[in-house]
Structure 1
């Protein structure tokens, strides 16, 4: 059966989409193309769409997933210039897609949603907003809210660097006005952003002080250019692009074995560890430096990085790699717990994001005046990361336990958006004013996640943004993308409670 596209009276729900990154864009496109629904508005905090790919403009910023699968399945891009696309190219792809589907006209830019509250009497959400440009405030009533804010949006900026008196910035807020030439630069952090930044700036600076809390597992990345010949084949020869898309997708799916601690997957893990070891041994000839760059935790417990220029960059003469902890910051001087001090001109904070802060306190007030942040605490309770029992008619894209460690998150985004569309269609078909996942369905999913994570390397001993303070994995989906799609390929009304639409309900066009 097809999707129901209107209520019986011909109306459609009013939908508010928060965020205009890949998640918000996909939600808008799916509402348009699958339901022909145009009664939606997108609120975007920034002056442009793009989300992560608008904000992160640091040197070397690129995707660590192959370009051919880091795109919407329904909107293939035949013009990628490299196997792993850079930030600018990904953002330009987003803009092209947005223009094609006329999304720009539906976005309220530089507008922040400050509070969302569910009103049972209205069977609607009331959203408070403020314009960053004018300070104007207002409210919007919406039947449905789709949150596409994404997990990598709130920079993690340690308080200890507040005392630094020189220029400092997070990688997601890069200061392009600062001239790096002939400067002493400190890079704090050794995650994916740092691994991309360091090679991009090392030859520009006079001295680079690199501060590493713990080493990262790094595997080589081959990033050849995509020639005009291949672009022609992808665009004009039937099935060529589709075949390469599927090959890349299934190759990524197969890497899930690397993150399993089960005996049957030992060979895959050991082989990948050997590749990482050989890569490090070949590129880092200095024994002392190599020891500093050798991880002391299981491969995959933290995000595995892909780079072929990171180790050579750290081996350069103008780079110092520090593993001692920073204990004091005064003026422009950093003091470490080994007694050493370094004076630098600027700080680059590659310190990651506050991924565990899924919802701010007081931001979402759900059913029965429930503050979603307090209800979740450090362990969010959701249904496949998409819905929660405390918030009727609210859908999360890339919500808790739906981010990936092995494949393209755009697949997960599309799957979650399709499920939200099916739920909205079900509302219209059954003439419902609200729909919410049952506490049991949410609990069953949470219990399954906890059990399945016991067999995954993410649960082993290390510090990562995948975990909460109780060492529970709250960010990642535990299985394959295909498994996630299979679970959500059909809408399951038995997992939801509903409220019928009142005859006196307000009509929204």
Structure 2
């Protein structure tokens, strides 16, 4: 059957309707790809466009190519449940291997024909009368700009898959542009610049710096890490996956699924560690961090104190690394804790007018995380601007739908980041939920009707008040640390406050009474009351009796044995799974 014989929305966007689509998805990362795949699988819909501002798929894994870049979640868990990969080479995957995986998935589902690369969204406006979105895009590729430097796409639904780790954040330091040497952000790494024999400054000491420093110290003449606040560091226990194990995963998929489930259980149990600073598990993390420091700096009390945080684990992202401390112990590395006063033409000056000269300054300073959707301008009903909707901090209903933005969904949005588990487990639940909304909009158009869906502001406010109450009691809210989880007012805009399973259960059905429905199809949808979606159950199914017997310890050890073979030195407390 040719494209022309297929009914809408099965037919892909063609030359003639280049600026019209059922759905526009912003971003070709893990979120955008997941949404597109669900569109194809659930609705047989190919009438969508993915706009991607960079030149390839992969989102954060396309942008972040710095030395040592890898994932803090085990490879088996950091992958789609519907596209599991039996051939990961390591327990924790590196950036290039993750990107290869995402390329394969995009190929398998035929996504490339839908993606417009080098295309960034400037603004998106909802048309109240026509009940559709008008998304203005700019074309940045030289060749592509010869056709058109920008245009507007009309769609029935708009999905944001831009995530939280998208726009690099540079530090607010005097003289940032005065430096005459080489300067780069970790997410804009220039591999054409040789590091051998260079004096390198790394501003920042978070998860990114913890991956970069162990790699660059091998070739640099000197590396200085500029630290504002120390971080909790726990062992990674990384290692290669043997050919035998990979063969078992490939030919006995049940084994792989079971190992993945064990890993999920283990990571879910981490919830206590990163949310309750007084929990047994948080104390275990402290002990592991202290042990690592003691092993690495047995005779250097001052260094141990410099690298010990004064806040509970989880308040900032816990760093998982086997090689950061050994790297900092090398003779060609120093840790600078004095406040940076300014950057000069030749280097960095700290308090006391002490200047150190460098060839390269690396800004491992993260992303503009609390400014969701930045720099896209979004306008909803009655021309209401998203900056007005979010004037007291970004918030959404279940992290996916936003007040006064009809027929709109977002993935990895406000309050869906995790400190303990794989974000992909959240993204899949969000994609399924958003696709349920899209399904109703597609059905109404197919029947010649109209439909707009937006969350009731009262419901959104009530939900977020409840969530902020929960978050206020977690380690994320501790005032002793600054983190990318919260905005300047201290409101936690980024993190989810409970477990992944609890979140998945919230999103396992759509309650239509939570939404304001308008258009000729609205009564029909309203009468449904609720649409049950279910969820992908990936955790191991254990009975309460087993739980009472302290099953977590068994699960954790099993996960360790199955994935690494030896966790004898890790002490595991008895933790209650809620």
Give the TM-score normalised by structure 1.
Answer: 0.94
Hey, what does 2:454 align to over in structure 1?
436
Hey, what does 2:259 align to over in structure 1?
244
Query: Within the alignment, does 1:494 sit opposite 2:513 as a pair?
Result: yes
The alpha carbon displacement at 1:96 in A equals 0.2
For residues 35-91 of structure 1, give each alpha carbon's deviation from its aligned partner in whole angstroms, at most 9, with x where no partner exists: 111110000000111100001000000000000100000000001000000000000
The alpha carbon displacement at 1:333 in A equals 2.4
- 5 Å-filtered alignment, 1:158-197, equals 158-160=171-173, 161-197=176-212
The alpha carbon displacement at 1:207 in A equals 0.8
Question: Which stretch of the first structure deviates more once superposed, 377-386 or 23-32?
Answer: 377-386
The alpha carbon displacement at 1:266 in A equals 2.2
Secondary structure of the residue aligned to 2:201 is: strand
Contact 1:356 1:378 in 2 (8 A): no
- 5 Å-filtered alignment, 1:83-102, equals 83-102=91-110
Secondary structure of the residue aligned to 1:97 is: helix
Secondary structure of the residue aligned to 1:406 is: coil
For residues 236-289 of structure 1, give each alpha carbon's deviation from its aligned partner in whole angstroms, at most 9, with x where no partner exists: 124101110100011000100112338xx6222212211111112112232222
Hey, what does 1:453 align to over in structure 2?
471
Paired with 1:288 and 1:169, the residues of 2 have a C-alpha distance of 31
Hey, what does 2:357 align to over in structure 1?
343
For residues 380-412 of structure 1, give each alpha carbon's deviation from its aligned partner in whole angstroms, at most 9, with x where no partner exists: 231011001120001000000011111000011
Paired with 2:276 and 2:266, the residues of 1 have a C-alpha distance of 19
- 5 Å-filtered alignment, 1:14-413, equals 14-134=22-142, 135=145, 136-160=149-173, 161-261=176-276, 266-285=279-298, 286-360=300-374, 363-413=377-427
Contact 2:165 2:369 in 1 (8 A): yes
Question: Which stretch of the first structure deviates more once superposed, 379-388 or 36-45?
Answer: 379-388
The alpha carbon displacement at 1:454 in A equals 2.2
Contact 1:361 1:372 in 2 (8 A): no
Paired with 1:362 and 1:422, the residues of 2 have a C-alpha distance of 25
Paired with 1:402 and 1:102, the residues of 2 have a C-alpha distance of 28
For residues 96-134 of structure 1, give each alpha carbon's deviation from its aligned partner in whole angstroms, at most 9, with x where no partner exists: 000000000100000111110001011000011111014
Pair 1:238–1:344, CA change in 2 (3 A): closer
Contact 1:186 1:348 in 2 (8 A): yes
Paired with 2:450 and 2:258, the residues of 1 have a C-alpha distance of 42
Paired with 2:410 and 2:108, the residues of 1 have a C-alpha distance of 25
Paired with 1:374 and 1:341, the residues of 2 have a C-alpha distance of 43
Pair 1:432–1:452, CA change in 2 (3 A): farther
Contact 1:112 1:129 in 2 (8 A): yes
Hey, what does 1:506 align to over in structure 2?
none
The alpha carbon displacement at 1:224 in A equals 1.1
For residues 297-355 of structure 1, give each alpha carbon's deviation from its aligned partner in whole angstroms, at most 9, with x where no partner exists: 22110000000100000010011110001102211121111332201111011011110
Question: Which stretch of the first structure deviates more once superposed, 133-142 or 174-183?
Answer: 133-142
Give the TM-score normalised by structure 2.
Answer: 0.83
The alpha carbon displacement at 1:21 in A equals 0.3
Paired with 2:309 and 2:467, the residues of 1 have a C-alpha distance of 27
Paired with 1:252 and 1:141, the residues of 2 have a C-alpha distance of 41
Paired with 1:196 and 1:118, the residues of 2 have a C-alpha distance of 42
Question: Which stretch of the first structure deviates more once superposed, 77-86 or 367-376?
Answer: 367-376
CA RMSD, aligned part only?
Answer: 1.6
Paired with 1:502 and 1:217, the residues of 2 have a C-alpha distance of 53
Paired with 1:491 and 1:453, the residues of 2 have a C-alpha distance of 24
Pair 1:194–1:294, CA change in 2 (3 A): same
Paired with 2:376 and 2:184, the residues of 1 have a C-alpha distance of 28
Contact 2:122 2:375 in 1 (8 A): no
Pair 1:299–1:393, CA change in 2 (3 A): same
Contact 2:395 2:415 in 1 (8 A): no
Secondary structure of the residue aligned to 1:162 is: coil
For residues 408-444 of structure 1, give each alpha carbon's deviation from its aligned partner in whole angstroms, at most 9, with x where no partner exists: 0001110000001111223345654211111011111
Hey, what does 1:469 align to over in structure 2?
488
Hey, what does 2:499 align to over in structure 1?
480
Question: Which stretch of the first structure deviates more once superposed, 168-177 or 337-346?
Answer: 337-346
Paired with 1:277 and 1:376, the residues of 2 have a C-alpha distance of 41
Q: Greater RCO between the two (CA within 8 Å, min separation 6)? A: 1
Contact 1:124 1:141 in 2 (8 A): yes
The alpha carbon displacement at 1:159 in A equals 4.2
Pair 1:497–1:164, CA change in 2 (3 A): same
